[in-house]
Amino acid sequence: MEIKILGSGCAKCNRLEQLTREAVAELGIEARFEHVRDMAQIMAYPVMTTPALVIDESVKVSGRIPSKDELLGWLSSAA
């Protein structure tokens, strides 16, 4: 599974990455993480605001930090 966090590296972006890593560990699944900070790369995705979470090239959320339950659901169905 490939997970991308889209964002400049602000506190919300870092929090999204931390929560996502915790959810991956809780589920015991393997995932590669990439924090995309380059604005040109971010704009290649259909997101208007950051932070954004992309799982296997599918944008799951942008502009907010999802709940842990939302993260677990997305990760479970993608695994």
- Catalogue the active-site residues: 10, 13
Find out whether 57 and 2 touch, Cβ atoms under 8 Å.
yes
Question: Counting Cβ atoms within 10 Å, is residue 20 exposed (0-12), middle (13-18) or buried (19+)?
Answer: buried
Find out whether 13 and 7 touch, Cβ atoms under 8 Å.
yes
Find out whether 19 and 75 touch, Cβ atoms under 8 Å.
no
